[in-house]
Structure 1
Amino acid sequence: MRGKKAMALVSGVTALIMAAAPLASANDADVIRRGSCSGRSDWKLKLSPENGRIEVEYEVDQNRAGDTWKVRLKHDGKRFFRGRRVTEGPSGSFEVRRVEPNHRGRDRFRARAVNLRTDQVCWGRAGF
C-alpha cells in the first residue's frame, strides 16, 4: 500500500510541475519564429504585446563568443534598428530588443544579421 501512495504522490507532483511549465514560457499572444542561418547558427524573432506597443526581440545563437554581427531590423519596410552586436557568454549569442508602435492592421517585421568574420547570414520575418 505504501508503494501505491508514494507513486500517486510522485505522479501528482509531476502533473503539477508539467501544468506550471507553460506559465513560465511565452505568452499566448506572443509570435515566435525560429530558423537556421546560412551557417551553423540559429535565429529567433519574438514579437510580444507591451502596453499597446510591440516588443521586438531578435536573437542569434552562434555558440561562439566574440564574433561581431551587423544587424538590421525593419517594421513595415522602415528600418528601426541598425547596429553591431558581439556574441557573448557561454552560449555565444546576442539579442536586440526594441519596442515599436503597433500600427493599424498587420505589422510586418524583418530581421537580418551578417557575421563580419564568416559572412554567415541570418534572416527572418514575422507578423503581428
Structure 2
Amino acid sequence: MTRTRRGLVAAVTSLALTGAAAGAAVAGDDDVLRRGSCTGSTDWKMKAGPDDGRIEVEAEIDSNRVGQTWRWVLRHDGAVVARGKSRTKGPSGSFEVERRTADHKGTDSFRFKAKHQGSGERCVGRVRL
C-alpha cells in the first residue's frame, strides 16, 4: 500500500470514529429513543434518559410544514406533567418539548400526545425507561 493510500485510509477511519463519538454524545448510552408516524404524514420522536437523578424527556413533532399549531400533553406514569400549544418552526417544520421529571421507582413510562389544530392529525409517542 502506498504512503498516500495509507494516509487516506487513516484520515477516513479517523473521520468515521469522530462521527461515531459525536453521535454518542447526543444520545447517551442509557437513553431510550423511539420514533413513529402520526395519523397523517407527520413523524414523532421521543427520547428519555437519566439526568442527575432525574429523567430528561424530549418529544419532537416533525411535519415539514412551518407555522402549524399543535396542542400537546406529556404524561409520566399516567399523570400529566406538562401540556401546551406549540407552533412548528423553520427551517424543518418541527417543534420540540423538553422536560425533566422525577425518577420514580421501577420503570418510568412516558406518553406524548399531540393534535394538529387545523387538520386534526394526531400523534402518540411512548417511551419507557
With the shorter chain as reference, the TM-score category is over 0.9
Q: Which residue identity is paired with 2:12?
A: T
Q: Normalization by structure 2: what TM-score? A: 0.94
Distance in structure 1 (CA, Å) of the matches to 2:101 and 2:20: 26
Structure 1 stretches of at least 4 aligned residues deviating more than 4 Å after TM superposition: none
Distance in structure 1 (CA, Å) of the matches to 2:34 and 2:59: 10
Aligned twin of 2:43: 42
Alignment of 1:70-89 (within 5 A): 70-89=71-90
Distance in structure 2 (CA, Å) of the matches to 1:11 and 1:122: 44
Report Cα offsets for 1:77-106 as digits up to 9, x if no partner. 001011100000110000000000101100
Which consecutive unaligned segments of at least 5 residues does structure 1 have? Answer: none
Aligned twin of 1:29: 30
Alignment of 1:1-128 (within 5 A): 4-25=2-23, 26-128=27-129
Report Cα offsets for 1:47-72 as digits up to 9, x if no partner. 02110100010001111000000001
Q: What's the Cα RMSD here?
A: 1.0
Distance in structure 1 (CA, Å) of the matches to 2:71 and 2:50: 26
Question: What is the percent sequence identity of the aligned residues?
Answer: 44
Distance in structure 2 (CA, Å) of the matches to 1:6 and 1:61: 44
